[in-house]
């Protein structure tokens, strides 16, 4: 696998549940790519290659190259349907992107300096209330992750979405709906019974 951000696909002819089951038995994953000015297009991907790609966290928050025959499309991963009991990918949705239109995508949060934070040294415990946030930005500004530095967090402190340090040109979608959507991200609290 030379490029983790490149998915090799082929056009898919048959549509519907029966056709999808048939291609899954052949080790393929049915997919669709949509958006932009082009019509939606149904695709097939190799299941084992897809599983390898999806094991890399960065794939979920990067602009991907979808190679279909001799052409390539830029897209982001919008939805993955997984089997509820088996380690099987059932379907993937890709959304086309271009550099002039903003995209909405979930980006993971990476929490740093938890062990050395002021509150943890006092015996506090960190509760992670959110593990990713939906951002809105141009594809070129899309961050792989957002770092949350916990080093200065003290006992009783709460970090909210508005406290996150964002790269230039990146907005958190929830905050565009008003201050009442400034949800907590991390809470550092004292363990009950710690006083004794």
Domain 6-96 has CATH 2.40.10.10: no
Can you give the pLDDT at residue 1?
38
pLDDT of residue 193: 59
CB-neighbour burial class of residue 11 (10 A; exposed 0-12, middle 13-18, buried 19+): exposed
Which parts of the chain have pLDDT scores under 70? Answer: 1-2, 14, 193-196
b/e 168-179 (16+ beta carbons within 10 angstroms → b): eebebebbeeee
Could you state, in order of their start, the residue ranges of all structural domains in the chain? 6-96, 103-190
Residues facing 110 on adjacent strands: 147
pLDDT digits (tens, 9 = 90+) for 116-158: 999 899 888 999 999 999 999 999 899 999 999 999 999 999 9
Query: Residue 196 has what pLDDT?
Result: 44
Q: Are 143 and 167 in contact (CB under 8 A)?
A: yes
Sequence-distant (6+) residues with CB within 8 A of 173 are 104, 133, 134, 135, 136
Q: What is the pLDDT of residue 18?
A: 72
The structural architecture, per CATH, of the domain 103-190 is Beta Complex (2.170)
DSSP strands (E only) in 113-178: 124-128, 132-137, 146-149, 158-160, 171-172
């Amino acid at each position: 696998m030379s490029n983790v951000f490149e998915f090799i696909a082929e056009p898919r002819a048959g549509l519907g549940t029966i056709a999808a089951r048939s291609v899954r038995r052949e080790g393929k994953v049915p997919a669709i790519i949509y958006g932009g000015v082009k019509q939606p297009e149904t695709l097939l991907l190799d299941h084992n290659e897809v599983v390898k790609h999806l094991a890399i966290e960065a794939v979920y928050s990067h602009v991907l190259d979808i190679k279909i025959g001799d052409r390539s499309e830029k897209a982001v991963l919008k939805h993955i349907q997984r089997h509820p009991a088996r380690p099987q990918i059932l379907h993937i949705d890709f959304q086309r992107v271009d550099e002039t239109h903003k995209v909405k995508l979930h980006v993971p949060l990476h929490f740093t300096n938890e062990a050395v934070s002021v509150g943890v040294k006092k015996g506090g415990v960190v509760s992670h209330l959110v593990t990713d946030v939906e951002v809105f930005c141009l594809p070129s500004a899309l961050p792989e992750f957002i770092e949350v530095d916990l080093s200065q967090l003290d006992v009783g402190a709460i970090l909210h979405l508005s406290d996150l340090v964002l790269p230039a040109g990146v907005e958190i979608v929830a905050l565009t709906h008003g201050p009442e959507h400034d949800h907590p991200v991390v809470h550092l609290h004292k363990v009950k019974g710690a006083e004794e």
